[in-house]
Structures are given as structure tokens and as C-alpha cells.
């Protein structure tokens, strides 16, 4: 790690662009860095769109590009203009958005929206109660012999893991809901959660795989995406989540 600096006040696109440029200049990287991976936030996108210079990779990949002579010394000493290399979006953040935001487009379908809302309200009620009450947490532990996994709002795969954990103790859910005085899960809702997990499993695996320190390389991205698409296409009869699967496949093609 070269730099870990705090950016004061508003993180506007110009502030971000200047901060990155200063790091490149400080470590003499202006002509060495050919790409920068960021998340998909609008301020990052605008920073690179506004301040981006022509990437050296683009020049090398263009067979019809004119051969020009570059004065390296003048480029290194030119401080009048902020220039950044090509931006690449983080694939893990992109998949997280696919799972958390693109999948919500399915809720335009009224029948899916109805079962989705009613089903996931059940675990949400339990998560909220257990997170606020040690007594409720102890009741859950006494019945299920494990701690309740509660999702983090900023990480979609934690929601997936939490739903999967609920299903792992589904035989105890009736007792849990009774003791905590919450509405019980219906068979239909249990089936919906199982089908939801089945559809989203490939995305959860891809996120866990790509966010591992050993797998954060460009050469892993396409194989993982192809595998994810193939797994979605192979899913058989889906009673509730066919529209979810189709929406995810369309988003992947985009």
C-alpha cells in the first residue's frame, strides 16, 4: 500500500481526482499507472470522466494510432493539468449492485413483490428484535443452538448468508416465532426463501470468490461471470423466482 490518506470534507469528483493525482505525482507514477479500479459511485465515475487522459493501454491497443514522439521530461514536469489513467469498475461492487439493486426491478411484478415483501418481513422482524434484545437473542440460541446471523445493509451477500442461516434452522422457526411472539412462517414463504437462495447462490459464490485476497485478479473475472450465467441458465422449474432469474440474466448481458 502506497498511500492511505484522509480526504477532508465533501468527496466531490474534483477532490477525488486531485487526491489520486497527488499520490501518482508523489510516488512518480504518472506514466506508470495504466488503470485504476474503483467502486461504481458517481463521484468516482465523474472524476475519471472529467480528468481522464488518454490511456497508454488504449494507444497500444489501437493498430491505427499514429506514432508520435512524447517528451517524457515535459510530461513529468507539467503540473498544469490533472490527468488520471483509465478507470475500471470493481467487479465485486458491480455484482453487489446487481444483487441488491437490479434484482429489485423484479418487484415491478405485483405477484413477485407480494410474496417477496411478506416473506422477508418475517426474518426482518426477528433480526430487529434479536439485535435489540439480549433476552430475545438468548431465546433464539436456546431453541436453535446457534447465534442468529444478522445482515449488514452495505453488503448484499450478508443478507444472502442470513437468509440461508434462517433456512438452516427452519425446523425450529415455529418455536422461535411462538416464543418471540412473531408471525410464523408459512410453507409458501419457506419455499420462496429456498428458491431465492437457489437463484442467488451463484452471485453469492462469485462475490465471495472475487473478494478473496487470492482471487482478486483480472483473469478470474470472465470465468466467474460465465460460470454464474451458466448456473442461472441451468436452473430448472422455478415456482416463484423465474422472473428474478430472467432479470439477472438480462442484467449480466448488459
State the average pLDDT over residues 196-219.
83
Tell me the angle at which helices 187-210 and 242-253 cross, rounded to the nearest 10 degrees. Answer: 20
Query: Residue 176 corresponds to which cell in the numbers above?
Result: 422461535
- The predicted pLDDT at position 50 comes to 65
H-only helix segments in the chain: 13-26, 42-51, 56-61, 72-77, 91-100, 110-132, 134-144, 156-168, 173-180, 187-210, 218-234, 242-253
88: which DSSP letter?
E
Among candidates 23, 48, 29, which has minimal Cα distance to 38?
48
Measured in whole angstroms, the distance separating CA 75 from the mean position of its chain's CA atoms is 37
What residues does each domain of the chain span?
Answer: 13-89, 93-253
Percentage of the chain modeled with pLDDT above 90: 39
Query: Does position 195 have pLDDT exceeding 50, yes or no?
Result: yes
Lowest-confidence region among 8-22, 44-58, 95-109: 44-58
Q: In this prediction, what percent of the chain has a pLDDT beyond 70?
A: 86
Cα–Cα distance for residue pair 195/40, rounded to 1 Å = 29
53 DSSP assignment: P
Query: Where is 36: in which H helix or E strand?
Result: strand 35-38
Provide mean pLDDT across the span 3-8: 83
Residue 69 pLDDT: 41
From residue 198, give the alpha-carbon distance in Å to each of 47, 148, 235: 38, 21, 8
Read off the pLDDT of residues 35-82 as tens digits, 9 standing for 90 and up: 888 877 888 888 887 655 444 444 444 555 444 443 444 444 444 567
Q: What is the pLDDT of residue 49?
A: 79
**pLDDT value of residue 14:** 84
Instruction: Give the residue with greater pLDDT, 224 vs 80.
Output: 224
Q: What is the pLDDT of residues 134-145, one digit of tens each?
A: 999 999 999 999
Residue 13 has pLDDT above 60, yes or no: yes
- Phi (first) and psi of residue 41, to 5 degrees: -65, 150
Amino acid at each position: 500500500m502506497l498511500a492511505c490518506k484522509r480526504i477532508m470534507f465533501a468527496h466531490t469528483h474534483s477532490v477525488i481526482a486531485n487526491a489520486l493525482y497527488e499520490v501518482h505525482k508523489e510516488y512518480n507514477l504518472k506514466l506508470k499507472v495504466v488503470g485504476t479500479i474503483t467502486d461504481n459511485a458517481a463521484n468516482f465515475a465523474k472524476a475519471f470522466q472529467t480528468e481522464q487522459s488518454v490511456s497508454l493501454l488504449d494507444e497500444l491497443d489501437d493498430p491505427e494510432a499514429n506514432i508520435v514522439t512524447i517528451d517524457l521530461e515535459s510530461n513529468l514536469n507539467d503540473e498544469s493539468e490533472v490527468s488520471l489513467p483509465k478507470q475500471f469498475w470493481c467487479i465485486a461492487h458491480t455484482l453487489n449492485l446487481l444483487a441488491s439493486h437490479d434484482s429489485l426491478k423484479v418487484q415491478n411484478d405485483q405477484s413477485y413483490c407480494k410474496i417477496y415483501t411478506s416473506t422477508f418481513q418475517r426474518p426482518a422482524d426477528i433480526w430487529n428484535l434479536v439485535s435489540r434484545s439480549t433476552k430475545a437473542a438468548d431465546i433464539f440460541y436456546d431453541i436453535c443452538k446457534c447465534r442468529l446471523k444478522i445482515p449488514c445493509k452495505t453488503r448484499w451477500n450478508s443478507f444472502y448468508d442470513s437468509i440461508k442461516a434462517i433456512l438452516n434452522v427452519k425446523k425450529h422457526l415455529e418455536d422461535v416465532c411462538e416464543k418471540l411472539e412473531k408471525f410464523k412462517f408459512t410453507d409458501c414463504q419457506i419455499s420462496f426463501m429456498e428458491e431465492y437462495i437457489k437463484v442467488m447462490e451463484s452471485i453469492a459464490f462469485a462475490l465471495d470468490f472475487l473478494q478473496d485476497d487470492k482471487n482478486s485478479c483480472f483473469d478470474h473475472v470472465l470465468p466467474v461471470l460465465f460460470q454464474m450465467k451458466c448456473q442461472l441458465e441451468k436452473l430448472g422449474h422455478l415456482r416463484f423466482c423465474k422472473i428474478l432469474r430472467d432479470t439477472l440474466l438480462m442484467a449480466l448481458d448488459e
